[in-house]
Amino acid sequence: MLDRRPPLPWQEERFARLSARFANATFPTALLLVGPEGVGKRQLGDALVGSAYCLQRGPDGSACGDCHGCHQLAAGSHPDLVICKPAEGKQSITVDVIREFSRKLYLTPQTSAGRIGYMPHADLMNVNAANALLKTLEEPPASAHLILIADRPAHLPATIRSRCEQVRAVVQSTEQSRQWLDQKFADLPESLRETLVTQPLLAATAQGFAQQDTAIRKQLESVWAQQRDPVLAAADIDDEALSRLSRVMHACILDRLRGQVGAVASASSRAAMQRLTDANAAALHLIETSQANLRLLAEAQLIEWARAGRQIMRDEHPDGER
């Protein structure tokens, strides 16, 4: 199913130029959109396909959304659009997928002037698949166009790249992406938004991480204060967030070292923080170098975290006051 949203602001000018080439019959036989992840290449590619098959394009080349061609695209049933993606359950595009893709491209168009072969993840082709596609590029169907998208164009053979017109779909105006980020992700820290101006769509991922980190910090606070059993707290951390526990804990350890412990820490408090620091460093190393059981590792980390919190609270409140 294609994304029916218009191109992102920093892709609008690029879209206008390319869609105009569809209108005046100068669109390349094979177009390769390249650029880093998070710049809106897929949304641009989807918009180009929509423009090509729209029967009532706007002055800027945008699809109307109401004509028969647009309705077919929205339903995923346009007979002249051939989308190439990995087979279900596969991580790469295989030679069999490419052969079927190419076979359909050579069929006579049913409702339009030509077929479009759309490959949103061209860099997922394995070597044999790329070689099979090369044959199609060397002898392309007369009325067909191919639109390929790649985050990592270097993963494509040079012979494929040389037979495509490459367009770098990068963010050229960071002012546009900065305004978009400010509108869509105002809850992200400004410093983080600033780091994302060249790959603004990664903000959604960053926002997800920020939410995960906030939830982890809350668990750490309750375990430190002895208000939550560490094993139960580990069980409450989402599977997707487990891999981030060590990094969030590292940041919290640094906060504790700078704040609560500081220069007034007793020898036992310093020893507790050192054990905690060493345990967390060991956990980070395990995660990076082996297939660690993250759930069991989280339990061990939180038990050590609770032990450190208990020791430091005893040192800060020797009379048992809280």
- Both 263 and 299 in one domain: the answer is yes
Cα of 218 vs its chain's centroid, Å:
26
> What total number of domains does the chain contain?
2
**Do 18 and 155 share a domain, yes or no?**
yes
Tokens of 98: 């490419």
**Integer Cα distance of 223 and 250 in angstroms:** 15
Q: Is residue 159, in this structure, part of any structural domain at all?
A: yes
Radius of gyration of the chain (CA): 27
- Domain edge (last residue) among 122, 143, 172: 172
* Residue pLDDT, tens place only, 177-204: 999 999 998 888 888 889 889 999 988 7
Per-residue pLDDT of the chain (322 residues; tens, 9 = 90+): 788 888 999 999 999 999 999 889 999 999 999 999 999 999 999 999 999 999 999 999 999 999 999 999 999 999 999 999 999 888 899 999 999 999 999 999 999 999 999 999 999 999 999 999 999 999 999 889 999 999 999 999 999 999 999 999 999 889 999 999 999 988 888 888 898 899 999 887 777 777 788 888 899 999 999 999 999 999 988 877 787 888 888 888 887 776 654 455 678 888 888 888 888 888 888 877 766 788 899 999 999 999 999 988 888 777 655 4
Whether 179 maps to a domain, the answer reads no
CATH code, domain with 84? 3.40.50.300
Give me the domain span that covers residue 235. 192-316
Euclidean distance between CA atoms 62 and 56, whole angstroms: 9
Per the domain annotation, does 84 fall within a domain? yes
Q: Give the single-character DSSP code of 288.
A: H
| Dihedral angle sign, alpha carbons of residues 303, 309, 311, 313 | negative
Q: Are residues 283 and 249 in the same domain?
A: yes
Query: Does residue 218 form part of some domain?
Result: yes
Q: Do 201 and 295 reside in the same domain of the chain?
A: yes
CA gap 192, 213 in Å, rounded:
14
- Do 74 and 196 lie in one domain? The reply is no
Distances (CA, A) of 112 to 29, 54, 76, 115, 252: 16, 10, 16, 7, 60
pTM over 0.85: no
Token pair of 153 as six digits:
């164009």
| Residue 182 belongs to a domain | no
Residue closest to 251 by CA, chosen among 225, 288, 212, 290: 212
Residue where one domain finishes, among candidates 172, 206, 229:
172
Token output for 246 = 């060590």
The reply to whether 210 and 276 lie within a common domain is yes
Q: Determine, yes or no, domain membership for 203.
A: yes
* Helix, strand, coil content of the chain in percent (nearest 5): 60, 5, 35
Between CA 38 and CA 34 the distance in angstroms is 11
CA atoms within 13 A on the CB side of 296: 4
* 156 in a structural domain: yes
Burial-class residue 191 by CB neighbours within 10 Å (0-12, 13-18, 19+): exposed
Residue at 60 is within a domain: yes
**266 near 238, Cβ under 8 Å?**
no
The tens digit of pLDDT for each residue in 229-286 reads: 999 999 988 877 787 888 888 888 887 776 654 455 678 888 888 888 888 888 888 8
Q: Which two tokens stand for residue 233?
A: 């707290």
Give yes or no: residues 168 and 209 share one domain. Answer: no
DSSP reduced 3-state for 34: strand
Residues 70 and 205 in one domain: no
- Same structural domain for residues 307 and 233? yes
- Give the residue among 49, 63, 55, 73 at the shortest CA–CA distance from 6: 63
Residue 53 half-sphere exposure, CB side, CA atoms within 13 Å? 34
Cα 215 vs. chain centroid, distance in angstroms? 21
Q: Please tell me whether residues 155 and 82 are part of one structural domain.
A: yes
162 and 211 co-located in one domain: no
Q: How far apart are CA 130 and CA 151, in angstroms?
A: 16
Same domain for 36 and 134, yes or no, is: yes
DSSP label at 237? S
The helix/strand/coil state of 321 is coil
